[in-house]
Structure 1
């Protein structure tokens, strides 16, 4: 690994890894850290090139983030963890579950998508326009180059086939908001293809973990109590 990921850690017990979304950092999960550290060893990780984690020289892709997570767990001697991923973090978690299923005790997917078509067009079109603009200026500005890389993750990735999810035999909660930027049909498709996954839709937008944390944490807590 060319870098070491920055992370916040609180609590003891079963490791509970939190993976934030595109352009964010572990601070997004402040309400989950506060809630779950009482019963779990909570680790909120900053993805490569996000927050306080360095960019490094490796590719800026979901696949690389999966390898970064694997290296992170190995570095800390974590053989198995609960993994909660939000947005791009959920996409990393899905890909991680496909490659390293033995390292996940429980999988929680919040606002993830299999491909860019899962995002509502009203959201995706401005992202695509922004990507083209930043791409045009990437050679002249480091900020534009960074933004191009971030937007590129949402324009070009992820690329997961629905039937691939059928190989995931891990207790899984798929959770999203009623007004999520991911279409409800797409969220349902993810839940349907993961054997025995539980689907939970709660009132709110894409950012339910942060904005309606009490309801979000309750759903996660109830699910964990039924599977651990």
Structure 2
């Protein structure tokens, strides 16, 4: 078991870091925190320097400015990399973290080696947009755990929920313990920014992987394909029978997907040894 100590940047961002090698940054989803990545930290740390952090409004990081937009979340990551003296990194974003990763790729391309977007949103249908806007209203009225039961049923398979009740309960507690204003500011962006700078996505020139689960109802395979088609060096992948929280429910499967992609991205390989740097 890897035991890590939470550290902080000068701006107050809470983060964990472990491992050696080229840096890989993990960005969690709305309502969650850096600890969702436990399975990926264990799987990736033997090969990379792995950094997981709490996005604005979550965990131990400060609240976002209500008017800062996705750019404020991208700036948070830039400040974290500067604090760690990292010139560029591979960025992996899950769900809302995928929107942040996209914003970072557009705002700070010079600091990006490769991009992974997991279970994220793009080009919602009117019906999908209406549902997420309704959930935003519920969160504004009743707080971060207003629709926790519904969320958990979307996120996890029934088999996983039955076999891992303590893990599911811990995630529900994480949702409930969010700062209400920080959560709402973030969720409003998650609900409305699926087409953030969509016409500029062609400018993302790094290798990119856009992946989701076959059974993810909110971050669909069609979304992953459409997003990948906007980026010249992107490919998309759909993991069979997986739902939204596949990094938590199936960490080995997701880790293998990530390691295969990293190995294919030349900048993350050590040709002399033929193994991941």
Question: TM above 0.5, one fold?
Answer: yes
Q: Following TM superposition, where does structure 1 have runs of at least 4 consecutive aligned residues deviating by more than 6 angstroms?
A: none
1:104 aligned onto 2:122: no
Q: 1:190 aligns with which of 200, 217, 227?
A: 227
SS at match of 2:36: helix
RMSD of equivalent CA atoms: 2.6
1:173 aligned onto 2:209: yes
Give the superposition deviation at 1:226: 1.1
The answer for unaligned runs of 5 or more in structure 1 is: 136-141
CA distance in 1, matches of 2:78, 2:115: 15
CA distance in 1, matches of 2:205, 2:65: 34
The answer for unaligned runs of 5 or more in structure 2 is: 1-8, 144-177, 269-277
Give the superposition deviation at 1:60: 5.4
What is the number of equivalent residue pairs in this alignment?
222
Q: TM-score, normalised by structure 2?
A: 0.72
The one-character-per-residue Cα deviations of 1:42-68 (angstroms, maximum 9, x if unpaired) are 000111221111226574532101011
**Partners of 1:173 and 1:198 within 8 A in 2:** yes
Give the superposition deviation at 1:127: 1.2
CA distance in 1, matches of 2:92, 2:127: 20
| 2:88 counterpart residue number | 80
Change (3 A) 1:119 1:226: farther
CA distance in 1, matches of 2:238, 2:67: 34
| 2:146 counterpart residue number | none
Give the superposition deviation at 1:188: 1.0
The one-character-per-residue Cα deviations of 1:179-213 (angstroms, maximum 9, x if unpaired) are 11213222211011111312110021111111111
